[in-house]
Structure 1
Amino acid sequence: MRRLCSEFIGTAFLLIGVVGSGIMGAALAQGNDAVALLANAIATGCILYAIITTLGPISGAHFNPVVTLAFALRGEHHWRDVAPYIGAQIAGAIIGVWLTHLMFDMSILQTSTTMHRTGLGQWTSEIIATLGLLFVIFGGVHHRPDAVPPLVGLYITGAYFFTSSTSFANPAVTIARGFSDTFAGIYPGHIAMFILMQLVGLGLAHLILPRLLRTLP
């Protein structure tokens, strides 16, 4: 239960960081999307560093169904715990979005109308973003376990700018952002393909990383 609470709380704070910084960034940037995205990226990287560092010793700080599945495929996470972890992550992500709307005095229940997150470029971007995230996590675990929190935070901060999709790379985040008609939102009709591409990225990581990092099974 402590581990599930950790995953729930951590993923909630992740979405508060993602959506909240998107709302604040868009409001302060006054139409300058580059400045809004920069604020969004920095805040997301910072919250990732914080929650991975503080909650990692409790639950492993997955906060992402793809990461949970990747550890299960490595044999480092019990398969019986996969569904509860993913459930906690998705629930936490949605609650995080709703709390963010409450903080900014917005309608709590929303559906995103953001329509530009689709197409071959965006789908390819999600494969690369997810593969890169898992590469950073497992490369860090292999070489410098203590450096995983900053590695993940820095990777996601950068990936906001070097991927066309702004690097969702997380099914729980993708689902939850469909419930926010803000800067960070994604139209619900585009969610399924994003998640499918993230799973493709997971599959590629499972094929490539064991050969690259020889100590992995």
Structure 2
Amino acid sequence: MYVYNSTHDGQSVCLVMGKDKYENDLMVKLFYKEMNAVWFHVNNYSSSHVYMLLKSPIKSDVKLLDFVSQHHINDAMQLCKSNSVAGNKLQMVEIVSTPFINLRKSGDMDPGQVSFKSTRFLSYFTCYARDNTVLSRLEKTKIILEKDIVDSEDFKRLVEVEDMEALEYMNIITSMKTDDVIAPSLEEFLRRCKKSKDGQRIETYVNIYLERLKLVEKLRKKIKKLGKSGKAKVIGGIDYGDFEYA
């Protein structure tokens, strides 16, 4: 699950996006009313599910522009369009939006598929050509929430060769309370959020542990490269092959 920060004119809004159709289903299942979430999707095409998390309670007939600026809405639309195989190729797409509480999911639906309790509460926006400036700005704020990496064999190899970032990560993890670590899965983390009924729990978690989460991303890239090559280059004076730092 990807978390982005959309900031305009001093106002910050949290945008959340599933990385695939299974995470989309997980979010529909475990998001909750107190999150004040508004859902975005490319209309009539497959695309990512993007949620804008508002800080004020909302109803099904919410008017987004009463809460956020058009710039925030544009950010959410660009994420939808750029993460749609078909939509990303088009000069213009229509984006459908509705409060999370208006979404409906039944057991006979395919993964990632949703419908609505009422079509009266759907809003439509037009998203024009892909805006790489917007996407680049959002990418710099992206945090990935998923299972922690402490169980990875490649991560253990980094610890063994005394990779500084791996050791720093281990020090942070051992000092944290169990409930503060995203473990054993994203699903469990979202269940804890839902149980808390705290609408800002995801955003608060990211803000508190931002530096650790950024460190995790660096380590994930290292582990990915290590896994591909099966080797590492010189670390601490030891030759581990052609491993490259991110």
The structure carrying a bigger helix percent of its residues is 1
Superposition TM-score, scaled by structure 1 size = 0.28
The structure carrying a bigger strand percent of its residues is 2
Structure label with greater radius of gyration: 2
Task: Tell me which of the two structures has the higher relative contact order, counting C-alpha pairs closer than 8 angstroms and 6 or more residues apart.
Answer: 1
